[in-house]
Structure formats: C-alpha cells, structure tokens
Chain A
Amino acid sequence: MTSIRISVFVTLLTLAITIPGGKALGIYDFPGKGFIKIFVLAPLILSPVAIGMGIHGTFIRLGLTNTEFGVILIHIVPVIPYGIRIFTNIFELVGDHLEEQSKVLGAGSFQTFLHVTLPTITPGIISAGSMIFIISFSQYFLTFLIGGGSVQTFPVLMVPYIQSGDRMMAATYSLVFIVVALLALQAIEKMFRLYYSKNSGIAGVYYTRKQVKS
C-alpha cells in the first residue's frame, strides 16, 4: 500500500536527518545552540498547513506535486521536531563517553557509529521511529495538498467517508487504519530488536535498566 510505503520512507529519511541533528544538539556546544533548539520546533508551533501552502508553489515549480516523492518530502516537515527532540534527549543522556572509548581502542568514526553509537541509541530509534511513522501515516491535509488527490494514502481515502456521514465505511476504515498502524509499529520494533540481538544480545533491555539506575 502506498500509505505504508510513504510512511516507511518518511521514517527512514527523518531518522537519517534527526540522528546527527539530535547528536549535535545533545552533545556538542556551539554558538546559537539554544536558538536552534527552539527553532527546530517551529513546525510544531506554526501550523504545518501554513508551511504546506507556502511550499506548494515551490513544489509546483519543481514538478513535485502529485508525486509520491513530493508527499514524502512534505511529511518530513511535521515529524522533524519529534525526531530531533527525542534524539537530543537520548544523546544528552548517553553522552559521548562510549564513543571516546571506542576511538581510544582504535575504531574509526564510521566504525564507532555502526558498532557503538547505533546499538546504544536503539531504544531511541524505536520510539522515534514509531512516532514518526504514526504521524506520517495519519497525515491528511499535507498529503491531499501536495499529492493533489492522485497519491492515495489511507487518510485521503478515509476522510470523505467520515465527512459524508457514511458511518459504516468510516468505522471500517478507521479499524483497518488502527490495525495497520499497530502492525507496522510492531514490525519496526521487531526488526530493530532482531537485528541487534543477532549481533549483540539484549540491546535495549540493559540500556533501559541502566537509565533507571542513573
């Protein structure tokens, strides 16, 4: 289904953006950090509709309207604040101690990221990923605006039924919506846990326990 495909891509892209972003905000010090921390929350404060309307013109010029790629791009706007927020907090908590240790033992930057950073922030990736997925999955207006009706996601199909008062269809769609979202979340979580338990055992469990202790 288009909906799931779009939301999965949105999730992956947003994670790719927000992990480095959150790390920068959580660990490093640089001038203007406080301002940027608030600035990235702008899409939460400002209505995404306003942003969508503004970007619509640009997207028409670039030929991105009515395409899936355009919809994916516009979905990233409302989810970025959540991703950044979660990863900033995670990195503030985890710090760069383990990364320092890894480098001292002779690991390069990429090796460190793959073998040390990623496993330690797995719980964060799971929670941020599911949040991003849900938000993207339930996006109606932005999909409608940029997709122009030709990109048929679940909410775009569902809303007309709700509005026209067709309770039965609306209820059915809602139920399917919830089930699909739940299944997708389960899948994301399973995927991550499986991947890391293969290489390394109980990634998240120990981490959360340690969090509570400190």
Chain B
Amino acid sequence: MKEVLLQNISKTYDGEETIKDLTLKIEKGEMISLLGPSGCGKTTTLKIIAGLVEADQGKIYIDGNPVDHLPTQKRGAAIVFQDHRLFPHTTVGANVEFGLRMQGIPRHNRREKVQEMLQFVGLEKHGDKFPGQISGGEMQRVAIARGLIVDPKVLLLDEPFSNLDQQLKEEMRKFIVDIQRKLKITTILVTHDKEDALITSSKIGVMFNGVLKQYGTPEELYEAPKSLEVARFFGEINEIPVKKIADEKFTHSLVLMIKKINWKE
C-alpha cells in the first residue's frame, strides 16, 4: 500500500537521547520488525510515526507526503498497543466500530463493515460481549480488527505477542502474517523477541540505545551481523579476541566462520 520514510529522527527525553539520528525506509506492503531490548526506543519510534510523540529533529513521510505537522488523527497510522487498550465501557462490536463512527459513517453502513471485520478475525460470535468477558488472545484480535477497519496507511504493532502464552503466541504470529499477506498493508512490528521478528518480517531493524544498528533481511542479520552487539543478540556465539591485522572484511568473515563451531568436540 503506502510507503513510510523516516529521515534523521532524533528525540531526547529528560536529557537522555532516546532515538539518535534514525533513518528507516519501508516499502509499500512490506512487513518489517524493529527489534531490540526494552527501552531501546522502539515504541517511541512508533509513537513518533503516529504523531503521539513529536520528534525533536527529522522528517517523516507517509506515502511520499510529509506528515510532521499533521495531528495524530489525520496521519492514517493505526497503532495496536501491547496492552490492547480496548475501551472497557463498550462492547467488542462497538470497539471495532469506533473508528468508523468517528469518521461519521452512517450507522447501517457501519454495521455491515463491523460484521465483516469480526468475521475476518474470527470473532463474529463475540460482538456483543464486553472486553472483560473475552480472553487475552481474543482481545488482541479485537485490537487488530479495530485498527484495520479504519483502513490505515500503515499498521503499527507494539509488542503484540508479549502478553500471550507460547501456543497463543504462535497462533497470533500466523494470524498476523496471514492478515498482512491478504491485505498487503504496510506493517511495522515492534518486539524484543528475535523469534517474532525472524518469523514474521521480510526485513528487521535492530536497535540498541536508540541507534539503528543494522537494517536488513533476516538472513543478512543472522549470517552477516555488522557488529558484535547484533551478533550476540541473535544467539550464542563463540567470541575469540583477535588483533586487527587485516581489513574489516576479514574479521567479519572470521566471526562468521567460527560462529557455529562447537569447540569442545
């Protein structure tokens, strides 16, 4: 659908740089991940794209147009938060309906769309229940349906798998990948779990302390990490202290060569 471009974004909170000079380009219809330990600025990045947080520096383009001065509600970037944030005072159906209602779409048109969307996420039986009466996985699906129904230009998922048990987690991963492929919606997934990122995304950006360390396909990151931090993040590695005698290319290939060797055997 629409492409997203972040250019030299910086953000400082209380004198601490949360995001440093971040540049990121996401192709239309692509699903990417921002991966990194908690507190590395991933969620802040999402909020900056959606306009909930204003960046100190840098520019954001959605679909080729600068959106820096647009208020959140006009940017067309829907976030699905980690804690679902369903409106507790209304039913599941009304939660999904919310975005359409805000756009002033007449009631009977809304009804149909809501039913379609609930069917799409497999919750057509739960439309009249309240958020407190459904399970965690179902709440997650409601939150996603609620984001999708406004037909966002970009879908932002903030740690969608972190509150779920292992089995549900795998189900949800599949669910999200399926939806993304069906709708071809530009999606950014934020996670601290490398498995989530490797399974779901066509590209991964690894972030540490507000710096985007490397951005590439899962294969590139796994097989040719550009820094020690990235390599360590993707799994246990054997490190050998070396003295630099040749150019950088050489040391990199050395790291690669020794990565999978078990030294005790």
**A interface vs B, CB < 8 Å?**
97-98, 100-108, 111, 115-116, 119-120, 122, 196, 199-203, 206-207, 209-210
Contacts and interface: CB of A to CB of B under 8 A. Distances in A.
A153 to B, nearest CB: 36
A202 B101 CA distance: 20
Contact of A207 (B81, B89, B94): B89
Nearest to B91: A201
Given A200-B94, A201-B130, A104 B79 contact: yes
B150 interface: yes
B73 A108 contact: yes
Contacts of A203: 89
A101 B52 CA distance: 10
Contact of B99 (A106, A120, A122, A207): A106
A111 B102 contact: yes
B132 A103 contact: no
Contacts, number: 87
A119 B98 CA distance: 14
Given A201-B130, A202-B130, A104 B89 contact: no
Contacts of B131: 206
B132 A101 contact: no
Contacts of B79: 100-101, 104
B78 A120 contact: no
A115 B98 contact: yes
B132 A209 contact: yes
Most buried by B among A97, A101, A115, A200: A101
B102 to A, nearest CB: 4
B207 interface: no
Given A106-B103, A120-B89, 19 more contacts: A101-B79, A102-B98, A103-B51, A103-B71, A103-B73, A104-B52, A104-B147, A105-B98, A105-B99, A105-B102, A106-B102, A107-B102, A111-B102, A119-B87, A119-B90, A201-B130, A203-B89, A209-B132, A210-B132
B132 A104 contact: no
Interface of B: 50-52, 71-74, 76-79, 81, 83, 85, 87-91, 94, 98-99, 101-103, 130-132, 146-147, 150
Contacts of A103: 51-52, 71-73
A105 B78 contact: yes
A50 B99 CA distance: 51
A97 B77 contact: no
B124 to A, nearest CB: 19
Given A119-B89, A120-B89, A207-B88, A105 B94 contact: no
A206 B99 contact: no
B88 A206 contact: yes
* For the complex of A and B, 6 pairs with smallest distance between CB atoms: A105-B99, A103-B72, A107-B102, A101-B85, A119-B89, A203-B89
Contacts of B89: 119-120, 122, 196, 200-203, 206-207
A174 to B, nearest CB: 39
A107 B91 contact: no
Contacts of A101: 79, 81, 85, 87
A108 B147 CA distance: 16
Nearest to B46: A104
Contact of A104 (B50, B83, B90, B94): B50
A19 to B, nearest CB: 17
